[in-house]
Amino acid sequence: MRQINMDDLVQRVMDELSKKTQEVIHFPEQKVRGVDNPNNAEALERAMNRTPARIGIGRTGTRMKTTSYLQFRIDQAAAHDAVMKAISPEWLARLQLPELHSRATSMQEYLMNLDSGRMLSDESAKWLEQHGDKGKDVQIVISDGLSTSACEATIPDLLPALQQGLAMRNISVGKPIFINKGRVWIQDQVAKIVGCKVVISLIGERPGLATAESLSAYMIYKPDANTVESDRTVISNIHRGGTLPIEAGAYLAELLEEILKYQASGVKYMQLRAKNG
């Protein structure tokens, strides 16, 4: 008996459904329970509402149901696109963000050589030296990281809220920059070039199958050659299903004010904060 490829089988099912309905098949954003006649439907509903994990999807024989499998492939494709697609020039122009580059010349190099994303290209470093705002309290760095989708979905709401929050606190801010294929550590070089007190990186997180639009914020006070990871303060899971971008912007402004007050970030900031009540 000839073995049927699962992808081919799914495509055949989709073709048949399309012929019958003559319309595009849409999938609901909210999770749908796939278990028929569960022993405790209320407990299952509560569990499904508490986590984005794929639970309660049901099965047909030894396989997941077709709808669940197709949703899995849709989310898998979204995660792949989030990593591989390039940022839109129109998006950068709309937000008036100058585009700088790391030393990674391709996505393959960025993924395989971590150091390539931790330093600016020579041309970008020179541009920042000539055009960057110097000596500010805060420098904002935006980077696609591992999810362009995260930047496109969250930054338009987060950035204005963050800038407004900092302005209300009389905190000086350098013009935000976008770094293509940048990693977290690239913020150390940026801080050294512009001479800011605190640098905050808003960077796309590695996408999962629950969401491909999650952003993280990494903050560090005056990084130097002795900086270690525990010196960074991190806020993650900024997206419409986690911390909302607008709320994150307001909170990050408050947090940056405290980092400037204590002149420390990361573990040292938490220790000083606890000591001072």
Q: Rounded to the nearest 10 degrees, how much is the dihedral formed by the CA atoms of 196, 198, 203, 208?
A: 160
Q: Between the ranges 117-126, 210-219, 238-247, where is the mean pLDDT highest? A: 117-126
Residues 120 and 245 grouped into a single domain: yes
Residues 42 and 176 grouped into a single domain: no
CA distance 63 to 61: 6
Q: Within a domain: residue 228? A: yes
Nearest CA to 233 among 245, 246, 220?
Answer: 220
Residues 114 and 246 grouped into a single domain: yes
Lowest-confidence region among 99-108, 122-131, 168-177? 99-108
Range of the domain at 195: 89-275
Q: Within a domain: residue 181? A: yes
Lowest-confidence region among 22-31, 132-141, 170-179, 260-269? 22-31
Residues 126 and 203 grouped into a single domain: yes
| pLDDT confidence tier of residue 133, bands split at 50, 70 and 90 | very high
- Mention every residue, 6+ apart, whose C-beta is less than 8 A from residue 195: 134, 135
The CATH number of the domain where 231 resides is what?
Answer: 3.40.50.11240
- Maximal C-alpha separation, the chain: 74
Residues 184 and 251 grouped into a single domain: yes
Q: Within a domain: residue 1? A: no
Nearest CA to 184 among 139, 141, 147?
Answer: 141
184 is in an annotated binding site: yes
| Alpha helices, DSSP H, located in the chain | 6-21, 41-50, 66-84, 89-95, 107-112, 122-131, 148-168, 186-194, 245-262, 266-275
Q: Number of structural domains, the chain?
A: 2
- Residue 94 predicted with pLDDT over 90: yes
205 is in an annotated binding site: yes
Q: Rounded to the nearest 10 degrees, how much is the dihedral formed by the CA atoms of 262, 265, 266, 271?
A: -10
CA distance 73 to 209: 9
Last residue of a domain, one of 63, 84, 105: 84
